[in-house]
Amino acid sequence: MYTQGLDQKESAGKRPVDAVEAAEQLQAFQARIDAEEKIEAKDWMPEAYRRTLIRQISQHAHSEIIGMQPEGNWLTRAPSLKRKAILLAKVQDEAGHGLYLYSAAETLGVSRDQMVADLLSGKAKYSSIFNYPTVSWADIGAIGWLVDGAAIMNQIPLCRCSYGPYARAMVRVCKEESFHQRQGFDIMLELSRGSPRQKAMAQDALNRWWWPSLMMFGPNDSESKHSAQSMAWKIKRFSNDELRQKFVDVTVPQADFLGLRMPDEALRFDADAGHYRFGEIDWQELFDVIAGNGPCNKQRLEKRQQAHDDGAWVREAAQAYANKAAAAAA
C-alpha cells in the first residue's frame, strides 16, 4: 500500500497530504487505462487491481491445466492416427497456455508454488466445465467446438486487457484456441455426416455440452459481482451476457450446418433484434459444480495431485541444476 513502511506517528502526521497524493496516483492510473496505455509489472497499481488480476489469471491458468484431463482421457483411444496427432497437439497447447498464464501471474508478485498449492487445496477455482466427463469420442468434438469456441469469445477481448503481460500472453493463446475450435467442429462434421449411430453420438454430445458451455460466461450481469470494476479497469471489455449472446448467435447456425438440434425448446431467432433468444439457464447446476459437487471435481483434483507428486523429481532435478549453475557463476 502507499503508506506502507511509515510508522504510526509519521503516517498520522502526513495523512492529509498522503490522502491527496493517493487520490492523484489513483486518478493518474485510471487516466492511463482510459488512454488505452498498458500497465506493466513494475508500474504502480492499486492493490485491488493486482489482486483481481492474480485471481483471474491464476484461475485461467488452472483451467488450462485441469482442462487437459477430460481430453487426455481420449488420447489413447482416438479413432485414427491423424485424430490422435491433432488431439495430442491440442492438449499440449493447453499445457503451454497454463505455463504462459502462470508466468503472467508471477509478474504480479505471486509465486507459482503458491498458485499450485491453492489449486490443490481447493482454495483456487478453475472453470467448472472441466468437471464434466468425456464419455464418448464425440465429446472431444463437442469440447473443441463449444468449449474452446466459448473460450475464444471470452479471450479475444483479453488481448486488449489493460495489463500488458496478460494481454500479450493472450495473443498466441487465441490463435491456438482458434485451431482447437476448428478441430472440434471438424470432428462434429465428420460424425454428423457419418452413420446414423455416429450422428446420434454427435447429437448426444451436443445435448450434454451445450448448457454447460453457456454457463462458461458466468452468471447473468445482474448477479456478477466483479464485473463493473473489471470493466472500468479494462480487464473486461464485454459483459457476461453480451459475450454469451455473441456465442449463441455464432454457434446456432453452425449447429444448423451440422444438421444437429440445440437442446433448447425455447431457442428461436428474433429477427427484429437480430439475435437468437434462448431458454433459461439452470444456474443451480453451475453453483453446485462450483461448490465441488460436479460429476468429476474430486477425480480432477486427485489426478492433478498425483501428477504433481509424480513430477517432484523433475522439480528437484531442475533445482539441483540451477544451484550448480549459480555456484559455477559465483
Helix (H, G, I), strand (E, B) or coil at 132: coil
Minimum Å distance from CB 196 to Fe ion? 30
Residue 306 CB coordination number (10 Å):
10
> Is 106 one of the binding residues for Fe ion (CB under 5 A)?
no
Q: How far is CA 105 from the centre of its chain?
A: 13
Smallest separation, CB 43 to Fe ion (Å): 27
Is 71 one of the binding residues for Fe ion (CB under 5 A)?
A: no
180 lies in the binding site for Fe ion (CB under 5 A): yes
Beta-bridge partner residues of 325 = none
- Does 94 participate in binding Fe ion (rule CB under 5 A)? yes
Pairing of strands 275-277, 268-270: antiparallel
Instruction: Number of residues interacting with Fe ion: please give it, by CB under 5 A.
Output: 6
Nearest to 157 by CA among 145, 171, 143: 171
Query: Is residue 304 within the footprint of Fe ion (CB under 5 A)?
Result: no
> Which one of 35-43, 61-69, 74-82, 286-294 is the stretch in contact with Fe ion (CB under 5 A)?
61-69
Q: Which is nearer to Fe ion, 181 or 199 (CB)?
A: 181
Q: Which is nearer to Fe ion, 39 or 151 (CB)?
A: 151
Q: How far is the CB of 146 from Fe ion (least distance, A)?
A: 11
* 269 beta partners: 276
The yes or no reply on residue 60 touching Fe ion (CB under 5 A) is no
Question: Which residue of 45, 148, 154, 188 would you call a contact of Fe ion, by CB under 5 A?
Answer: 148
Residue 178 or 299 with smaller CB distance to Fe ion: 178
8 Å CB contact between 128 and 290? yes
Q: Which residue has the cell 460424425?
A: 191
For position 97 contacting Fe ion by CB under 5 A, the verdict is yes
Nearest CB to Fe ion, comparing residues 95 and 232: 95
CB of 167 to Fe ion, least distance (A): 16
Cβ distance to Fe ion smaller for residue 94 or 264: 94
In angstroms, what is the minimal distance from the CB of 309 to Fe ion?
24
Q: Which of 122, 325, 90, 129 shows the shortest CA–CA distance to 215? A: 129
Give the contacts of 146 (CB within 8 A, at least 6 positions apart).
Answer: 184, 206, 209, 210, 213, 251
Question: What is the C-alpha to C-alpha distance for residues 299 and 68, in angstroms, rounded to an integer?
Answer: 13
61 versus 289: smaller Cβ distance to Fe ion: 61
Q: Are 119 and 130 contacting, i.e. CB atoms less than 8 angstroms apart?
A: no
Site residues (CB under 5 A) for Fe ion? 64, 94, 97, 148, 177, 180
